[in-house]
Amino acid sequence: MARNYKEMIWEDYHYRFGLAGQGQADIIQDYLQARSGTVLYIGCGPRPHVLRRLSPYCSALIAADIEFGCLRALEEDSPLEGIPLCQMDANRLGLKTESMDFVLALGFVSALG
């Protein structure tokens, strides 16, 4: 079923940071506007528009995904200026303690244990 223009604009704004709904996106945006910092976005997926919308609210943004194909798609289809891409497992980040100010993982599912 085709979506009309109003539905597309609403959905585009509502999910502007990925899987976060409008309420969550508003909280994320307000929080990052009040506190500048480096954000690690875990599970970024192949969605450059989400990274471009999030980037203005970060002093630095690092996009990470476990799937190399997602990162390759970002590089090939829509290169992102100033947003480094990292392949990593969210369960084993391998980062120094306190090297990131914020970690964002929207819709992330982890099997613990």
- For residues 43 and 108, the answer to whether their CB atoms sit within 8 Å is yes
pTM, full prediction:
0.77
Q: Quick check: is 67 in a domain? A: yes
**CATH for 73:** 3.40.50.150
Range of the domain at 76: 5-104
- Predicted confidence at residue 11, as pLDDT, reads 64
Please count the structural domains in the chain: 1
- Predicted confidence at residue 17, as pLDDT, reads 76
- Which residues are paired to 65 by β-bridges? 87
Each residue's pLDDT, cut to its tens digit, for the chain (113 residues) gives 566 766 666 666 666 777 667 788 888 889 999 998 999 999 888 888 889 889 999 999 999 999 999 899 888 877 788 999 999 988 888 888 788 999 988 865 444 44
Report the b/e string of 36-69 with b at 16+ CB within 10 A: eeebbbbbbbbbbebbebbbebbeebbbbbeeee
CB atoms within 10 A of CB 105: 16
